[in-house]
Amino acid sequence: MIGMFITSTVYAVEVIVNVSVKDTTLTTSQLKRIYTMRQLRWSDQSVIKVFVLPSQHELHRRFTKERLQIFPYQLNRIWHKLTYSGLGVAPTIVNSPEELFTAVSLTPGSIGYIDMPDSNLDEGAVNVINIED
């Protein structure tokens, strides 16, 4: 499984969720709300747990621009404001795509992102979310 992360081919950034998440489709607006911490619950009212890579990570930069259509520094500002003013909780930062995948596969209600071909996903470890504009 490690091998697929070192490949030089650039794959589309896919949004993944824990298998406990019932939602299978999200709009770009919903995804943006989830990552800007303006939507905290799934449609069944369970709590959303958001995982991200460090803000300078290349995959994080691609995810914010391609999927969220906002800039990484804007996300940082929103999260810093929540974390250091006590107003809310920001996403949990993990260090590598492998850790992010593991975190999402093990944490109920969680959401994250990867870049790899679908066929390489461990069968049933996470669900890939279909994103509509």
Compose the 14-53 pattern: x for residues touching another protein by CB under 8 A, - for all others: -------------x-xx--x----xxxx-x---x-x-x--
Among 87, 119, 123, 133, binds another protein (CB under 8 A): 87
> Is 80 a residue that touches another protein (CB under 8 A)?
yes
> Is 56 a residue that touches another protein (CB under 8 A)?
yes
- Report 111-130 residues binding another protein (CB under 8 A): none
**CB of 16 or CB of 94, closer to another protein:** 94
Q: Are strands 49-52 and 14-17 parallel, antiparallel or unpaired?
A: unpaired
Q: How far is the CB of 119 from another protein (least distance, A)?
A: 25
Residue by residue, DSSP assigns the chain as: -THHHH--PPPPPEEEE-TT----EEEHHHHHHHHTTS--B-TTSPBPEEEE--TT-HHHHHIIIIII-S-HHHHHHHHHHHHHHSS--PPEE-SSHHHHHHHHHHSTTEEEEE-S-GGGSPTTTSEEEEEE-
> Is 4 a residue that touches another protein (CB under 8 A)?
no
Distances in Å between the Cα of 35 and the Cα atoms of 26, 50, 74, 120, 132 are 12, 7, 11, 26, 16
> Is 6 a residue that touches another protein (CB under 8 A)?
no
Residues that bind another protein (CB under 8 A): 27, 29-30, 33, 38-41, 43, 47, 49, 51, 54-57, 61, 71-74, 77, 80-81, 83-89, 92-95, 99, 102-103, 106-108, 110
